[in-house]
């Protein structure tokens, strides 16, 4: 038999998180702990459907009378009702703000990067290290150059804002920079308001295009506080892209619900950029999935459902804070986790320690040390801390 064209393909580098999940499923040891997959879990270890989502889905089942396409832009009612949550009820952006529904936050980022490539094919995309595992592949898939900048020192568990600013001082006008708006993945690191102010200044002064990756709003310090950096950037720069995910804060992971917003210097520029974004998504997913976005729209159209969603989101955030406090008290090495926010932290350990946690203690983390804090129950914290002490 002659060789297939596929024989020319190299074996791809396996996805660390997905590979870890498969190993966890195959592990039959009792008491094993999965801190790899990034989903919220309650104190019983479940990832439940949120109450408001369940109620909205019931209404959707009863009321929806067609499965026809909505169009490239998706459910614009969903996009319009999410905008005040992201930008505030009195953002004053007017028609400078244009949005569309996307296939999850990853889809929003991919469309944003394609838009950057259309506007400036020679743009470099600056991204802090370490960052979410998918950022680099997404940048490369858009045909753009990755420009790494220092962000977080794993050993000291500190953010090096000075190094970030120094790196960006070498950025060219028209370059883009990805900034995670809150609950930094994978580090849990917190940028102070003064840090965001300095970043906004250098971005504006050097003519850079910021891409705000906002994937965990409400799971850090609350909905309003978690949007502060995005709102600051929107007020300080002439152009901005916001890639948003509802997967975590509405718990609709498998429904892939996201949005992309464009802020331009004027309404015409924003509309033109949105049109190019729609042309880009036509070649990706064409029409976005409807179910999750429709359910979220129904929640945000109903004051009682909105209040219940906010209350349950607050309880999820409180659980994460409780686990972080327990970890910080359990071992000196874990003390910095109490000052961090969101679902993820990057432990001050190396890959061999992570491997020993897995092989000797059935605790699964992503090398070189990312853990999903929300994957731990409070009653497992002491077990985890003791295992970590033995693995070091």
CA 323 – CA 84 distance, rounded (Å): 30
- Taking alpha carbons only, the member of 110, 125, 151, 121 closest to residue 285 is 110
Same domain, yes or no, for 35 and 139? no
Token readout for 153 is 């020192």
Report phi then psi at 139, rounded to 5.
-60, -45
| 186 preceded by a cis bond (ω within 30 of 0) | yes
Same domain, yes or no, for 159 and 33? no
Q: Number of structural domains, the chain?
A: 2
Report phi then psi at 242, rounded to 5.
-125, 115
Tell me the CATH number at 281: 3.40.640.10
Please identify which of the residues 112, 117, 171, 215 carries the catalytic annotation: 215
**Is 285 a residue of the active site?**
no
| 368 preceded by a cis bond (ω within 30 of 0) | yes
User: Is 286 part of a structural domain of the chain?
Assistant: yes
pLDDT of residue 182: 98
CA dihedral over 37, 128, 208, 161, signed as positive or negative: positive
DSSP 3-state helix, strand, coil percentages of the chain (rounded to 5)? 50, 15, 35
CA 312 – CA 341 distance, rounded (Å): 18
> Coil, helix or strand for 74?
coil
pLDDT tens string, the chain, 392 residues long: the values are 677 888 888 887 777 777 888 999 999 999 999 999 999 999 999 999 999 999 999 999 999 999 999 999 999 999 999 999 999 998 999 999 999 999 999 999 999 999 999 999 999 999 999 999 999 999 999 999 999 999 999 999 999 999 999 999 999 999 999 999 999 999 999 999 999 999 999 999 999 999 999 999 999 999 999 999 999 999 999 999 999 999 999 999 999 999 999 999 999 999 999 999 999 999 999 999 999 999 999 999 999 999 999 999 999 999 999 999 999 999 999 999 999 999 999 999 999 999 999 999 999 999 999 999 999 999 999 999 999 999 99
Please identify which of the residues 55, 248, 374, 387 carries the catalytic annotation: 248
Range of the domain at 180: 69-301
Same domain, yes or no, for 272 and 311? no
pLDDT of residue 88: 97
Please identify which of the residues 114, 175, 213, 226 carries the catalytic annotation: 213
Torsion of CA 54, 221, 215, 287, to 10 degrees: 40
Identify whether the C-beta of residue 234 lies closer than 8 Å to the C-beta of residue 240: yes
Same domain, yes or no, for 175 and 85? yes
Rg of the chain over Cα atoms, rounded to whole angstroms, equals 21
pLDDT of residue 15: 79
pLDDT of residue 324: 98
Identify whether the C-beta of residue 56 lies closer than 8 Å to the C-beta of residue 299: yes
CA 91 – CA 235 distance, rounded (Å): 9
Same domain, yes or no, for 107 and 214? yes
CA 302 – CA 309 distance, rounded (Å): 11
Identify whether the C-beta of residue 362 lies closer than 8 Å to the C-beta of residue 31: yes
Report phi then psi at 148, rounded to 5.
-75, 145
User: Is 287 part of a structural domain of the chain?
Assistant: yes
User: Is 244 part of a structural domain of the chain?
Assistant: yes
Tell me the CATH number at 315: 3.90.1150.10
CA 157 – CA 347 distance, rounded (Å): 8
| 130 preceded by a cis bond (ω within 30 of 0) | yes
Same domain, yes or no, for 352 and 385? yes
pLDDT of residue 1: 64
**Is 309 a residue of the active site?**
no
Token readout for 21 is 């999940």
* DSSP H helices in the chain: 16-26, 51-63, 76-87, 104-119, 135-141, 161-168, 193-205, 223-226, 228-236, 267-282, 291-301, 303-330, 351-361, 381-391
pLDDT of residue 76: 98
Please identify which of the residues 132, 196, 261, 309 carries the catalytic annotation: 132
User: Is 8 part of a structural domain of the chain?
Assistant: no
Same domain, yes or no, for 198 and 286? yes
pLDDT of residue 8: 83
**Is 215 a residue of the active site?**
yes
Q: How many residues does the chain have?
A: 392
Measured distance between the N- and C-terminal CA atoms of the chain, rounded to whole angstroms: 52
Task: Identify any residues that bridge with 46 across adjacent strands, giving them in sequence order.
Answer: none
Same domain, yes or no, for 41 and 108? no
**Residue that the structure tokens 């308001």 belong to:** 193
């Amino acid at each position: 038999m002659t060789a297939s064209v596929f024989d020319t393909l190299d074996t791809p580098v396996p996805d660390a998180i997905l590979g870890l999940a498969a190993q966890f499923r195959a592990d039959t040891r009792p008491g094993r702990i999965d801190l790899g997959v990034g989903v919220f879990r309650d104190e019983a270890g479940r990832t439940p459907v949120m109450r408001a989502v369940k109620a909205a889905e019931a209404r959707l089942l009863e009321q929806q009378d067609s499965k026809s396409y909505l169009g490239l832009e998706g459910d614009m009612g969903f996009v319009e009702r999410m905008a005040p949550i992201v930008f505030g009820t009195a953002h004053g952006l007017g028609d400078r703000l244009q949005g569309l529904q996307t296939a999850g936050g990853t889809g929003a980022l991919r469309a944003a990067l394609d838009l950057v490539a259309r506007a400036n094919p020679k743009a470099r995309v600056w991204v802090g290290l370490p960052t979410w595992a998918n950022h680099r592949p997404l940048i490369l898939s858009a045909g753009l150059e990755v420009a790494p900048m220092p962000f977080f020192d794993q050993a000291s568990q500190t953010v090096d804002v000075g190094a970030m600013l120094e790196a960006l001082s070498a950025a060219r006008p028209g370059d883009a920079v990805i900034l995670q708006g809150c609950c930094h993945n994978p580090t849990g690191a917190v940028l102070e308001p003064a840090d965001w102010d300095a970043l906004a200044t250098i971005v504006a002064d050097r003519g850079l295009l910021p891409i705000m990756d906002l994937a965990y709003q409400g799971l850090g310090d609350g909905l309003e506080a978690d949007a502060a950096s995005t709102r600051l950037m929107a007020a300080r720069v002439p152009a901005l892209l916001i890639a948003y995910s509802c997967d975590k804060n509405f718990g609709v992971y498998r429904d892939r619900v996201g949005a992309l917003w464009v802020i331009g210097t004027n309404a015409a520029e924003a509309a033109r950029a949105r049109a190019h974004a729609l042309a880009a998504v036509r070649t990706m997913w064409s029409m976005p999935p409807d179910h999750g976005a429709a359910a979220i729209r129904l929640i945000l159209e109903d004051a009682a459902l909105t209040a219940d969603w906010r209350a349950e989101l607050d309880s999820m955030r409180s659980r994460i804070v409780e686990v972080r406090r327990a970890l910080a008290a359990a071992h000196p090495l874990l003390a910095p986790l109490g000052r961090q926010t969101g679902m993820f932290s990057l432990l001050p350990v190396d890959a061999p320690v992570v491997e020993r946690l897995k092989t000797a203690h059935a605790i699964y983390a992503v090398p070189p040390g990312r853990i999903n804090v929300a994957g731990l129950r409070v009653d497992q914290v002491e077990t985890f801390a003791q295992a970590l002490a033995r693995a070091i």
